[in-house]
Amino acid sequence: MNFDGTFQLEDTSVEEVWLALSDPVLIADALPGCEYLLHVESDDVDFDELADRADERDAELTGDPETIAERAFREGEWYAGQIQVSVGPVNPTFETVVRIDERDQPRMGASGEGSSGDSSFEMSSGMALQETDDGGVAVEWETDADVFGKVAGMGQRVINPVANRLVKRFFSDVQSTLRELQLAEAATPEPEGDAEGGIVNRLLGRSSSESS
């Protein structure tokens, strides 16, 4: 199955969106049904142990680039989590492992697989960021997926709308989170003389003098 599309994020920049999409905490928060998403050493994952780790993880959203850099996705590394997806009358929870195959601004790509009892999938996906003329960012995305088991038996007429709905909700939540970070920065005055100019300016990598 092939899925692709373009989602428009308003009033933001490629740098800001790139940083947001580099944060596993933000991805897990925005991805519908995702219980957690953690770095693992390989694709051989003990999900019981991973669930214990998830209870102790740093799950706080932040706009601080230094914090995000410490936990950011890294090319060639593995990440695992649990994701519940509602497809028709069934609600499987997939134990999922993905590998970051490419992470070179403005492009990133991943591949992986997931299983849940009588259903499973294999996938590869990618996205590219591009500035728009109206001061936003276009995210072009594509996914190739093979689905097996009970979910596959429902056919593309059921699966396609579910996939499109999940993608739309994911990017909508990313947009909302970016706005919340901006609101948090506006509501919390920076100390006088702060050369960085707040959360948003640090996200964008510019000084307060450049943004004025």
Average pLDDT over residues 126-152: 95
Angle (nearest 5°) at CA 62 between 163 and 209: 115
For residue 196, pLDDT over 50 is answered with no
The helix/strand/coil state of 145 is strand
Banded pLDDT at 186 (limits 50, 70, 90): low
Is this structure's pTM higher than 0.85?
A: no
Residue with token string 């989602």: 7
The string of pLDDT tens digits covering residues 54-75 is 988 878 898 888 888 899 999 9
Q: Across residues 174-201, what is the average pLDDT?
A: 60
Render the burial of 47-86: b for 16+ CB within 10 Å, e for the rest. eeebeeebeebeeebbbebeebeebbbeeeebbbbbbebe
Angstrom distance (rounded) from CA 99 to CA 113? 9
205 pLDDT above the threshold of 50: no
Residues 13-45 pLDDT 10s: 999 999 999 999 999 999 999 999 999 999 999
| In 46-106, beta strands by DSSP E | 78-84, 93-104
Which helix H or strand E contains 21, and what residues bound it?
A: helix 14-21
pLDDT on residue 197? 39
Q: What is the separation, in whole angstroms, between the first and last Cα of the chain?
A: 47
Q: Please, which pLDDT band fits residue 185 given cuts at 50, 70 and 90?
A: low
19-23, 181-185, 206-210: which has the minimum mean pLDDT?
206-210
Least confident of 42-46, 77-81, 101-105, 155-159: 155-159
What is the β-pairing status of strands 93-104 and 107-116?
Answer: antiparallel
Instruction: Using the structure block, give the residue that is written with the tokens 């933001």.
Output: 12
Q: For residue 209, what pLDDT is reported?
A: 44
